[in-house]
Amino acid sequence: MQLPTVLMAVAAASARDPGGRKRKCGPGTGVRRCPLSAAQQPPAPAMDCYTANWNPLGDSAFYRKYELYSMDWSLKEELRDCLVAAAPYGGPIALLRNPWRKEKAASVRPVLEIYSASGMPLASLLWKSGPVVSLGWSAEEELLCVQEDGVVLVYGLHGDFRRHFSMGNEVLQNRVLDARIFHTEFGSGVAILTGAHRFTLSANVGDLKLRRMPEVPGLQTAPSCWTTLCQDRVAHILLAVGPDLYLLDHAACSAVTPPGLAPGVSSFLQMAVSFTYRHLALFTDTGYIWMGTASLKEKLCEFNCNIRAPPKQMVWCSRPRSKEKAVVVAWERRLMVVGDAPESIQFVLDEDSYLVPELDGVRIFSRSTHEFLHEVPVASEEIFKIASMAPGALLLEAQKEYEKESQKADEYLREIQELGQLTQAVQQCIEAAGHEHQPDMQKSLLRAASFGKCFLDRFPPDSFVRMCQDLRVLNAVRDYHIGIPLTYSQYKQLTIQVLLDRLVLRRLYPLAIQICEYLRLPEVQGVSRILAHWACYKVQQKDVSDEDVARAINQKLGDTPGVSYSDIAARAYGCGRTELAIKLLEYEPRSGEQVPLLLKMKRSKLALSKAIESGDTDLVFTVLLHLKNELNRGDFFMTLRNQPMALSLYRQFCKHQELETLKDLYNQDDNHQELGSFHIRASYAAQERIEGRVTALQTAVDAFYKAKNEFAAKATEDQMRLLRLQRRLEDELGGQFLDLSLHDTVTTLILGGHNKRAEQLARDFRIPDKRLWWLKLTALADLEDWEELEKFSKSKKSPIGYLPFVEICMKQHNKYEAKKYASRVGPEQKVKALLLVGDVAQAADVAIERRNEAELSLVLSHCTGATDGATADKIQRARAQAQKK
């Protein structure tokens, strides 16, 4: 369903009251027709009527007050009898009925009620906690209720309890006299005035850090008025004690004096800081209102209202970047707007009202109406003021005359074009449309802008399109049933993301999704995020079965990008619905998101299965370590036996971290083969004494025999014999023998001249003759004991032949010794031996005699230079003769 269609349905629904009767639309009713629908709209008001509610303040500014809603909240008590808190940016209204007053019966419980800005009920609950001193809204639209004992209770928009925190023991002991909720760039803060006339504050309730402000010298009674200021990113307290003002920071208490203050002041009755904390207003007992900078270093103006009675409220009313500053002061039945002008604007209040300061004006609500008072924007003033010749005013008239098919349209256009102000006229109409609350006037101005664009060649359409989109969104959220009366300036300051968050907070998911789709926001920032919030709300509906909730969420979300089923499952678990959380995790494609939550829910075995399915070894290790700490040893090992992959990974872990656990695993599984290998590694890794090593090896032998691995058992027994022999050799001969291999032991003995011991060792361990000859040949060559080598070669027939002798001698660069053995090499290897010693001619004779083509080619490849030319010719002739035969 498209956004206009949805809002047509909302507008149609809003045209009926709860009893089903058709609701009247128009001024004084609080009901607005949907601006995005094609429904019939009343005709646009005439220009001379449009400025009827404009009130001049001096010569340079106009202020207007128009109705936002007709309040149908049916209050049973006056606002003066309630604690009231209204959130900025068109936020909700909280009323605590029947607070703790002496004239009220103690048995009557107070009622905390929360309404939208249009008076639609959002929540109602009986107050069961202690006496409340003050209410206020945080920047996240959480209701902060400051109790007399210093405890601050935090509630959601729908009356759901969120959390609580205390403002400290000193506040608890001295009780709370007064409190303020304020906003800074760090978040929302709370300032407390205690019964000991000391101040305590926290600049951010999200990151609670209490600051006890310095004591005011000689302060014995509560200050006549006080407020919070934010200067240089630090929160301060400004308070009035008689004719004196004191500024408290974290370090000191300083007396301050407003510059240019009228004389005769004996007390300050009220003070107000601007929405941006840049300006300050002081109301004195002489009836003067001083206005200046919040630093109290510069005076803007001073106004005598001739009323000495303390006002109920005093708030600032000025739009951003405006040079004109004004303050709105409210008494029982009078509202006054004062500024840098000799006159003021006064309104009569028919009933008890409450002021809500906004970024660009003041909201005023009572039992029956909700209005907005603000300075008329420059673009609107230039277009609509009487006898205006501004480009925007002429363009608006030109468009109207064009609709009448009047020739005056051309005259107005020519006048604008001659002055070269058509672009400026279009921009003025677009800007003014943004500041209008009535959809008809918005349309009229946008039609004029569109009309003017037709006569411009290169006017960028972005600003026009963006304004149309913004106004559609604004008109949608301003609807009576939505109740967020944002202005264009507030909307731009708030941003679309925060507005969507606030719609989600009100559980207006369909409208939020329609807006995301209409503005074509990225799914991760728009639709996906809202659907995730909807799913988190859905899991809180405990009257619906887990199966139905899980199925509904999956049908709605599917595989929507940016949606995490694990986050939704975590919310379900937080609501006590563990089985629903498990069902939702089945839809989570990322095992890394499933496993941590399953562990948190103490479903460790299921978490292990999910981790194994993922194939992520790190994830499996995480679950295994968690299981190890959670289960007793027997249950843990039984769990591993049912999961072969987990068991294998845990063994790998134990090999590096927990060897004793690894041994227990092998014992439990009767894995004697691995147990034997474990004892062999342990014998070398941990044992330093030979006896310990032998004992460990003997245990390994027993394990190998149990595993029916006789080869491993025999090899281990041989290693035990070798260790004992090496220890004996060290004792008898000295030197290092332990941990050498059998071959290295034999070689070491030969190098040490202990040939008989080497031969005996070879016989004991059945080293083959060929291997022993190689070992002895290599060792003697390394010693360069050529005489002993020759004796060794003649001791008996060599089992490895004599070519190795030639090779070893040449490796040691001893050609003389090599030639001795070349003559003893057998016919099959004689050519190679002769070539090794460099006797190419004799090698050629042997190859020719053997008539071996491969040997002839080998010799021929070694014939280089002039010296071997005759040998090469000889080989070539032998080849030729062989081919003739």
Residue-wise pLDDT tens digits, 167-179? 999 999 999 999 9
Label residue 312 by pLDDT band (50, 70, 90).
Answer: very high
Distance of alpha carbon 320 from alpha carbon 301, whole angstroms: 18
pLDDT value of position 19: 34
Residue type, 529: R
Kindly report the backbone phi and psi dihedral angles of residue 237, in degrees, each rounded to the nearest multiple of 5, phi listed first: -115, 130
pLDDT value of position 356: 97
Distance of alpha carbon 420 from alpha carbon 394, whole angstroms: 13
pLDDT value of position 41: 32
pLDDT value of position 765: 78
pLDDT value of position 543: 83
Query: Mean pLDDT across the stretch 143-162?
Result: 94
Please give the C-alpha separations between residue 195 and each of 136, 240, 410, 483, 762, in angstroms, as whole numbers: 20, 16, 73, 39, 100
User: Which of 545, 574, 600 represents a domain boundary (last residue)?
Assistant: 600
Q: Is residue 458 part of a domain?
A: yes
* Cα 499 to the center of its chain, rounded Å: 19
Distance of alpha carbon 467 from alpha carbon 472, whole angstroms: 9
* Cα 568 to the center of its chain, rounded Å: 16
Distance of alpha carbon 883 from alpha carbon 862, whole angstroms: 22
Contact 155, 161 (CB under 8 A): yes
Query: Mean pLDDT across the stretch 33-46?
Result: 34
Neighbours of 237 (CB within 10 A): 24
pLDDT value of position 8: 36
What confidence tens digit (pLDDT) does each residue in 490-506 have? 999 999 999 999 999 99
Contact 369, 30 (CB under 8 A): yes
Please give the C-alpha separations between residue 274 and each of 50, 343, 447, in angstroms, as whole numbers: 29, 21, 36
Strand partners, 95: 84, 113
Nearest to 728 by CA among 695, 702, 694, 701: 694
Please give the C-alpha separations between residue 505 and each of 327, 498, 527, 661, in angstroms, as whole numbers: 32, 10, 15, 52
Residue 1 tokens read as 């369903």
Query: Mean pLDDT across the stretch 28-41?
Result: 33
Strand partners, 86: 93
Residue that has been written with the tokens 């003759």 in this structure: 769
Q: What is the DSSP letter of 866?
A: S
Label residue 485 by pLDDT band (50, 70, 90).
Answer: very high
pLDDT value of position 99: 65
Cα angle value 257/261/262 (rounded, 5°): 140
Q: Is residue 588 part of a domain?
A: yes
pLDDT value of position 23: 34
Mean of the per-residue pLDDT values of the chain: 83
Query: Mean pLDDT across the stretch 790-794?
Result: 78
Is residue 212 packed enough to be buried (19+ CB in 10 Å), middle (13-18) or exposed (0-12)?
A: middle
Torsion (CA) 20, 22, 24, 28 in degrees, nearest 10: 0
Strand partners, 245: 240, 256
Label residue 744 by pLDDT band (50, 70, 90).
Answer: confident
- 374, pLDDT greater than 70: yes
Label residue 730 by pLDDT band (50, 70, 90).
Answer: confident
CA atoms within 13 A on the CB side of 141: 25
Q: Is residue 553 part of a domain?
A: yes
Q: Is residue 413 part of a domain?
A: yes
- 463, pLDDT greater than 60: yes
Nearest to 271 by CA among 351, 205, 180, 192: 180
- 753, pLDDT greater than 80: no
User: Which of 600, 622, 646 represents a domain boundary (last residue)?
Assistant: 600
Cα angle value 118/338/316 (rounded, 5°): 50
Distance of alpha carbon 10 from alpha carbon 511, whole angstroms: 10
- 837, pLDDT greater than 50: yes
Residue that has been written with the tokens 């009926």 in this structure: 16
pLDDT value of position 233: 80
Distance of alpha carbon 646 from alpha carbon 640, whole angstroms: 6
- 611, pLDDT greater than 90: no
User: DSSP string spanning 534-601?
Assistant: HHHHHTT-TTS-HHHHHHHHHHHHTT-TT--HHHHHHHHHHTT-HHHHHHHHTT---HHHHHHHHHHT
Q: Is residue 40 part of a domain?
A: no
Residue 373 tokens read as 């008072």
Distance of alpha carbon 416 from alpha carbon 129, whole angstroms: 67
Q: Is residue 437 part of a domain?
A: yes
Distance of alpha carbon 634 from alpha carbon 73, whole angstroms: 66
* Helices first, then strands: H and E counts in the chain: 35, 29
Label residue 22 by pLDDT band (50, 70, 90).
Answer: very low
User: DSSP string spanning 629-666?
Assistant: HHS-HHHHHHHHHT-HHHHHHHHHHHHHS-HHHHHHHH
Torsion (CA) 141, 147, 149, 154 in degrees, nearest 10: -30
pLDDT value of position 10: 31
Sheet holding 299-304, edge to edge: 268-273, 279-284, 288-293, 299-304
Kindly report the backbone phi and psi dihedral angles of residue 149, in degrees, each rounded to the nearest multiple of 5, phi listed first: -85, 5
Query: Mean pLDDT across the stretch 80-101?
Result: 88
Strand partners, 55: 63
Cα angle value 612/614/618 (rounded, 5°): 75
More confident residue, 25 or 544: 544
Distance of alpha carbon 882 from alpha carbon 628, whole angstroms: 82
Q: Is residue 593 part of a domain?
A: yes
Distance of alpha carbon 675 from alpha carbon 666, whole angstroms: 6
Query: Mean pLDDT across the stretch 797-807?
Result: 80
Distance of alpha carbon 761 from alpha carbon 408, whole angstroms: 125
pLDDT value of position 539: 87
Label residue 866 by pLDDT band (50, 70, 90).
Answer: low
SS3 116: coil
The highest-confidence range among 467-476, 523-532, 792-801, by mean pLDDT, is 467-476
Residue 331 tokens read as 């008494």
Label residue 865 by pLDDT band (50, 70, 90).
Answer: low
Label residue 98 by pLDDT band (50, 70, 90).
Answer: low
Domain containing 824 equals: 802-884
pLDDT value of position 545: 87
User: Which of 600, 615, 634 represents a domain boundary (last residue)?
Assistant: 600
- 17, pLDDT greater than 70: no
Query: Mean pLDDT across the stretch 541-558?
Result: 86
Residue 609 tokens read as 């299965």
Strand partners, 337: 328, 345
The highest-confidence range among 310-314, 387-391, 799-803, 874-878, by mean pLDDT, is 310-314
Q: Is 130 left (phi over 0), alpha (psi -120 to 50) or beta?
A: beta
Query: Mean pLDDT across the stretch 334-342?
Result: 94
Longest CA pairwise span in the chain (Å): 145
pLDDT value of position 330: 96
SS3 525: coil
Query: Mean pLDDT across the stretch 34-56?
Result: 54
More confident residue, 636 or 184: 184
- 12, pLDDT greater than 50: no
Distance of alpha carbon 766 from alpha carbon 721, whole angstroms: 13
- 587, pLDDT greater than 80: yes
Residue 85 tokens read as 């808190």
Strand partners, 364: 355, 371
How many Å is the Cα radius of gyration of the chain?
Answer: 48
More confident residue, 330 or 853: 330
What confidence tens digit (pLDDT) does each residue in 634-665 have? 777 777 777 777 777 777 777 666 666 667 76
Distance of alpha carbon 778 from alpha carbon 805, whole angstroms: 9
Number of domains into which the chain is organized: 2
Q: Which helix (H) or strand (E) holds 196?
A: none
Q: Is residue 543 part of a domain?
A: yes
- 21, pLDDT greater than 90: no
What confidence tens digit (pLDDT) does each residue in 197-222 have? 999 999 999 889 999 999 998 888 99
Q: What is the 3-state secondary structure (H, E, C) of 412-453?
A: HHHHHHHCCCHHHHHHHHHHHHHCCCCHHHHHHHHHHHHHHH
Nearest to 124 by CA among 81, 166, 95, 82: 95
pLDDT value of position 106: 53
- 2, pLDDT greater than 50: no
pLDDT value of position 27: 32
Residue type, 750: I
pLDDT value of position 538: 87
Label residue 688 by pLDDT band (50, 70, 90).
Answer: low
Query: Mean pLDDT across the stretch 577-602?
Result: 83
